[in-house]
Amino acid sequence: MTAALHPLDEATALTPIGERRALGRTNPLYRNMAGPFGGVTAAVLLRAVMDDPGRIGDPIALTVNFCAAVADGEFEVAWTETRAGKTVQHWNVELRQEGRIVTTGSVVCAVRRETWTHRPGVAPAVPPPEEVPPADTAGRLPWLERFDFRYVEGPPRFEEPAPETPRSPRSVIWLQDQPARPLDFVALAAIADAFIVRIIQVRGRPGPMGTVTLTTYFHAGQAALEEIGAAPVLGVADSKIFHDNFQDQDISLWTPDGRLLATGVQMAWFRE
């Protein structure tokens, strides 16, 4: 008897088909409006590098360019080490369907040693996750059910009419894989994109939009992630501008005891 894979591991599974080439398949559990949730595509690109026997150290940066919608079905991932030193290693990754590039990305890995540490960034003061009720995401997009969202601030208000003045773009959320799963870099890469696109938050109405590019930086090593286990992480998302088809988003992810795990930015397109 084998244990069932966690949906994230199922959705990011890659079958090698050659030197740094592998096949994957979109998973209906992470379906978004058009194609899969972007965070799971980001996780696939990172996983290709994480599972490479030539990788050194931990990932410190991941950039993903969503060049076109990923179609339901099979995709090919190819990755190359572009340059490596003794402690820092650079990778490019591509995802293709029908021979065409659908997603590109780059990953930076590094062997991190203990250094002077200073943490001027401070997590917001929030109630613990067990005191915050989970959002009801059932019956909406499948990917929303892959996370436990506990909104401390800035919940989506799907049921309410659009507000007359824009709402705050800021959300503060306890986030956890659902079902719970021990935290690793692949999961962090997905969670870093698990914030509802800010324009929906602000305008309170759906419309055509999608992330075009995102970058995530990792600020903790593998051992620190293992210490967290399957606990929820605290996420903060905000935006500075919505203008001429594009909006920014910046996020941060924190451990339950307030240590910074990851920061990220993205640009998302919206129609009007």
Q: What are the residues binding its own copies (CB under 8 A)?
A: 60-61, 63, 65, 67-68, 82-83, 85, 87-88, 90, 92, 94, 100-102, 104, 106, 108, 110, 112-121, 166, 168-169, 202-203, 212-213, 215, 217, 219-221, 238-246, 248, 250, 252, 260, 263, 265, 267, 269-272
Nearer to its own copies, 125 or 243 (CB): 243
Q: Please provide the DSSP assignment of 61-105 as one string.
A: EEEEEE-SPPPSSEEEEEEEEEEE-SSEEEEEEEEEETTEEEEEE
Asked, as a colleague might, if the bond just before 179 is cis with ω within 30 of 0, I would say yes
Distance CA 12, CA 126 (A): 32
Query: Is 178 or 222 the residue whose CB approaches its own copies more closely?
Result: 222
| Shortest CB 13 distance to its own copies, Å | 25
Residue 20 or residue 203: which is nearer to its own copies going by CB? 203
What backbone phi and psi angles, to 5 degrees, belong to 50?
-60, -35
Nearer to its own copies, 61 or 231 (CB): 61
Coil, strand, or helix at residue 203? helix
24 Cβ contact partners less than 8 Å away, ≥ 6 residues apart: 12, 13, 14, 15, 44, 74, 75, 76, 77, 95
To the nearest whole angstrom, how small is the minimum distance from the Cβ of residue 84 to its own copies? 8
CA distances from 212 to 63, 64, 197, 199, 215 (A): 11, 8, 11, 14, 11
Q: Give the count of beta carbons closer than 10 Å to the beta carbon of residue 114.
A: 6
Q: Min. distance of Cβ 54 from its own copies in angstroms?
A: 15
Q: How far is the CB of 93 from its own copies (least distance, A)?
A: 11
Cβ 132 to its own copies shortest distance, Å: 23
In terms of CB distance, is 178 or 213 closer to its own copies? 213
H-helix or E-strand spanning residue 239: none
Contacts of 197 (CB under 8 A, 6+ apart): 209, 210, 211, 247, 249, 268, 270
Considering the complex, state which of residue 29 and residue 84 has its C-beta at the smaller distance from its own copies: 84
As measured in angstroms, the least distance from the Cβ of 264 to its own copies is 8
For its own copies, the closer CB: 151 or 242: 242
In the complex, minimum distance from the CB of residue 207 to its own copies, in angstroms, rounded to a whole number: 10
Q: If residue 126 lies in a helix (H) or strand (E), which one and from where to where?
A: none
